[in-house]
Amino acid sequence: MPPANDPNPTYDTIFRHQPSPLFNTKRKAIPPLSIRMASSLSSLNPNNISFTTAQFSPVPPWTLKSPTILFNLTTNIKANTTPEVFQALYNELKHDYPHHQEIFTDGSKSLHKVSAAAVFLNSKLTFSTNLPTMSSIFTAELTAIKLAVFNIHKTNHKLHILFSDSKSALQSLSHKNLSNPITQDILLKYNDLYNHHYNIIFCWIPSHVGIKDNTEADKLARVTSISSTQVIPIPPSDALPTLRNYIRTKWQANLDSFPNNKLYKIFPKLQHLPPLHHSYSRKDTKKVILNRLLIGHTHLTHCYLLNKEQPPNCNYCKTLLTVEHILTSCSAYKNIREKHYSNSQLPHILTNISKHLIFNYLSEIIFF
Ligand SMILES: [Zn+2]
């Protein structure tokens, strides 16, 4: 998953594992992390997506020329502004830079496709590329800007004004966020272009408000795009949502494989368990009891394990003595229980019923 030549010393250990027959024969031996992760890695990254991280800037960051970025149009809140106002503001802006040629960039993300495009309106040149589906929209927008600055020399024109509808991508440039590899590439290229007498102004533009040039650029992108088939490396942070989802799915599958687990009956879906207190302390008796009721293990129902005895039965009902039995169905305590609560579903009792009622019931039957 990380880029090749990653200097991290754990890289080889984790990502370049050698299958060892030793662990096939010794089933009880715990294989190293690399072997245990191999199947997860291949199912997580079936297309061998390549990742890129920011390297040290070859140009001292403080000498990098700061790009001019205009957020003039953001001062108008989109919801309250009519398309005509935006069109007028856009024309005004263009009037301030009469010799600059317009570039429009756009990144898009749907369920199965992430793409980036840059359109040079005057020279009718368009460039686009597809990105791995796990890429964020932010990466797509930055890649679109990168496509523009890296192809700008093909226009034979030195003055450009680049319009992007991604405020966060432009802010990343404005804050010189060199830790993002794509932002770094753009800033280094911009610096290089600046030294070769190019002048590029960046400007935020609202999307889908009917600005004529923007609509025309969208049309051009669809019809005449020169699409790159090159595999675009993306920042590792873009993989995090997929990674989290994968871990959650695996964890849930693991939980589902133990349907008789006592906690599973109460919380069949992964979630935070509010009654389980992080400040777990033996001094707080009620919290301890509550946590033990939730996991279904109490001294009364499970001390047989320590004493190497048979599991206990309820003296009255002659069925297995469990937390569920005591809280929901023991006929000996039916009347007392109904005084405090009437529900007979364990998940409901432990998650929705006031804890005071449960403790009052347990206290009355001298459970603790
Ligand atoms: Zn009973």
136 — pLDDT class (breaks 50, 70, 90): very high
Quick one: pLDDT at residue 192?
95
On whether residue 335 sits in a domain, the answer given is yes
Please tell me the pTM assigned to this model: 0.74
Q: For residues 232 and 271, state if they share a domain.
A: no
On whether residue 114 sits in a domain, the answer given is yes
Q: How far apart are CA 146 and CA 189, in angstroms?
A: 9
Neighbours of ion ligand 1 (CB under 5 A): 314, 316-317, 330
Quick one: pLDDT at residue 188?
95
Q: For residues 87 and 220, state if they share a domain.
A: yes
Beta bridge partners of residue 320, listed in sequence order: 313
Q: For residues 23 and 146, state if they share a domain.
A: no
Residue 108 is inside which H or E element, if any? strand 101-109
In this predicted model, which residue has the larger pLDDT, 39 or 144?
144
Per-residue model confidence as pLDDT tens digits over 244-254: 998 999 999 99
* Alpha carbon of 361 to ligand 1 centroid (Å): 15
Average pLDDT value for residue range 223-242 = 78
Beta bridge partners of residue 142, listed in sequence order: none
Comparing C-alpha atoms, which of 110, 104, 106 is closest to residue 90?
104
On whether residue 52 sits in a domain, the answer given is no
* Alpha carbon of 315 to ligand 1 centroid (Å): 7
* Alpha carbon of 344 to ligand 1 centroid (Å): 14
* Alpha carbon of 269 to ligand 1 centroid (Å): 29
Number of domains present in the structure of the chain: 3
Indicate the burial class of 222 (C-beta count within 10 angstroms; 0-12, 13-18, 19 or more).
exposed
Measured CA distances, 105 to 83, 141, 283, 287, 298 (Å): 20, 7, 62, 57, 63
- The percent of the chain in helix, strand and coil, each rounded to the nearest 5, is 50, 10, 40
Q: How far apart are CA 9 and CA 6, in angstroms?
A: 8
Residue 45 has pLDDT above 80, yes or no: no
Q: What dihedral do alpha carbons 345, 346, 349, 351 form, nearest 10°?
A: -120
On whether residue 256 sits in a domain, the answer given is no
* Alpha carbon of 277 to ligand 1 centroid (Å): 29
* Alpha carbon of 334 to ligand 1 centroid (Å): 9
Q: Phi, psi at residue 132, to the nearest 5°?
A: -55, 145
On whether residue 254 sits in a domain, the answer given is no
Average pLDDT value for residue range 10-31 = 76
Residue 89 has pLDDT above 80, yes or no: yes
- Lowest mean pLDDT segment, chosen from 20-29, 40-49, 190-199, 219-228: 219-228
Positions of E strands within 113-156? 114-120, 125-131
Residue 310 has pLDDT above 60, yes or no: yes
| Domain coverage including residue 102 | 61-239
Quick one: pLDDT at residue 193?
95
* DSSP 8-state class, residue 107: E
* Alpha carbon of 338 to ligand 1 centroid (Å): 15
* Alpha carbon of 256 to ligand 1 centroid (Å): 29
Comparing C-alpha atoms, which of 267, 271, 293, 291 is closest to residue 279?
291
The rounded mean pLDDT for the chain is 84
* Alpha carbon of 199 to ligand 1 centroid (Å): 84
On whether residue 347 sits in a domain, the answer given is yes
Measured CA distances, 215 to 43, 126, 166, 209 (Å): 40, 14, 16, 9
* Alpha carbon of 333 to ligand 1 centroid (Å): 8
Pairing of strands 125-131, 101-109: unpaired
Residue tagged 């569920």 (tokens): 324
* DSSP 8-state class, residue 61: G
* Alpha carbon of 301 to ligand 1 centroid (Å): 12
Q: Coil, strand or helix: which one is 70?
A: strand
* Alpha carbon of 337 to ligand 1 centroid (Å): 12
Q: For residues 222 and 286, state if they share a domain.
A: no
On whether residue 246 sits in a domain, the answer given is no
Q: For residues 230 and 127, state if they share a domain.
A: yes
